[in-house]
């Protein structure tokens, strides 16, 4: 029967044989899959694995720095690339969800292609594709941020002419987590909620500005840190905040305000295909709502999403 120990042992041996002394380039996302794929490849080929971690300016607050640091402490040969401005420029004025996804996908490919060219003689593209991605790779709004899901945005960039190595493509998510544990990867990375490739761009309804990202990051951080400190984080499949494109009237002291509304979303699920809204304790929601309104300038109202999937989706865009 399948065990993560034997999987690691045979996969590392196979990767060594397959790749030899070649170089591999791999895009890290901060998520579980790309992290586990990277550590497996690193175990097999060491410094010949070149990891690229792109800051698209659409990650959670402080996440890029934090995750880059943990990748480095795992010994990975990783390069952090600050491309925030490129992504914001590409997104400027776009409101349609699919246009935003396309702009992000294209920008990522441009950045990644440029970085891959800097690695002399690289022969392989490593990917954290898992088995459900293989089944679902036709869906535009797929479950993972693999480079593949953006295949359809134009001519094939050079790095896609590389040979592909996908060490996790027979595994389900829970198996990937077990493999990650066997490899000694930090629970902080392994236990992380799924996070969409386009990141906060699809949780800011309407167009994206650096200011809106900043507001949403602050709101999201209060919610996620609250879930963690109340011991609720691991009971939730996925959680986050959505910045709505509406303003509502509020009152502060004896003045009326007219400011932004945010929605909080938390769901339970097994695979993201269906999901139930999470019955978080009222006291907790009340506390988080107060903290958000008191601390985040520009937000005066918090609502909680009580829709399940189907018919609602997990993301609002
Ligand atoms: P939905 O909103 O379709 O989301 O219920 C199901 C799961 O997929 C994630 N998601 C995405 N992941 N690129 C991604 O990499 C995307 O464009 C995308 N859209 C949704 C979502 O976060 C949830 O985990």
Assembly ipTM: 0.99
Residue 288, pLDDT > 90, answer yes
Residue 310, pLDDT > 90, answer yes
Structure tokens at 202: 């699809």
Residue 137, pLDDT > 80, answer no
Across the chain, mean pLDDT equals: 93
Q: From the CA of 185, how far away is ligand 1's center (Å)?
A: 24
- Report in angstroms the alpha-carbon separations of 122 from 113, 162, 163, 225: 12, 8, 10, 40
Per-residue confidence (pLDDT) for residue 119, from 0 to 100: 96
240 assigned binding-site residue = no
Taking the domain 203-304, which CATH number applies? 3.30.300.10
Nearest CA to ligand 1 atom 3: 313
- CATH fold of 4-190, please? Rossmann fold (3.40.50)
pLDDT tens sequence across 236-266? 999 999 999 999 999 988 999 999 999 999 9
Q: From the CA of 252, how far away is ligand 1's center (Å)?
A: 36
For residues 62-90, one letter each, b for 16 or more C-beta atoms within 10 angstroms of the residue's C-beta and e for the rest, the string is: ebbeebbebbeebebbbbbbebbebbbeb
Average pLDDT over residues 88-111: 97
pLDDT band at 156, cuts 50/70/90? low
110 assigned binding-site residue = no
Q: From the CA of 316, how far away is ligand 1's center (Å)?
A: 10
Nearest CA to ligand 1 atom 19: 141
Q: What residue spans define the domains of the chain?
A: 4-190, 203-304
For the entire predicted model, the pTM comes to 0.90
């Amino acid at each position: 029967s399948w065990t993560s120990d034997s999987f690691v042992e045979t996969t590392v041996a196979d990767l060594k044989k397959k790749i030899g002394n070649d170089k591999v380039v791999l895009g890290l996302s901060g998520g579980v899959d790309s992290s586990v794929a990277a550590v497996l490849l690193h175990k097999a080929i060491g410094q010949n694995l070149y990891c690229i971690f792109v800051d698209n300016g659409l990650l959670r607050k402080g996440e890029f720095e934090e995750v880059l640091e943990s990748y480095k402490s795992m010994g990975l040969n990783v390069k952090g690339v600050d491309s925030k401005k490129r992504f914001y420029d590409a997104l400027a004025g776009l409101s349609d969800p699919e246009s935003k996804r396309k702009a992000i996908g294209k920008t990522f490919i441009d950045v990644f292609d440029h970085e891959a060219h800097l690695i002399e003689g690289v022969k392989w593209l490593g990917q954290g594709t898992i088995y459900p991605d293989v089944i679902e790779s036709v869906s535009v709004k797929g479950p993972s941020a693999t480079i593949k899901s953006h295949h359809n945005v134009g001519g094939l960039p050079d790095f896609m002419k590389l040979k592909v190595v996908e060490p996790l493509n027979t595994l389900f998510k829970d198996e990937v987590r077990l493999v990650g544990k066997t490899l000694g990867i930090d629970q902080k990375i392994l236990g992380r909620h799924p996070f969409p490739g386009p990141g906060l761009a699809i949780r800011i309804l309407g167009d994206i500005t650096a200011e809106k990202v900043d507001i949403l990051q602050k709101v999201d951080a209060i919610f996620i840190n609250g879930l963690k400190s109340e011991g609720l984080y691991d009971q939730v499949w996925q959680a986050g905040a959505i910045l709505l494109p509406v303003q509502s009237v509020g009152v502060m002291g004896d003045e009326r305000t007219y400011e932004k509304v945010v929605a909080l979303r938390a769901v339970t699920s097994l695979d993201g295909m269906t999901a139930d809204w999470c019955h978080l304790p009222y006291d907790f929601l009340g506390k988080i709502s107060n903290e958000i309104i008191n601390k985040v300038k520009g937000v005066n109202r918090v609502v909680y999403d009580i829709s399940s999937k189907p018919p609602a989706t997990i993301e609002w865009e």
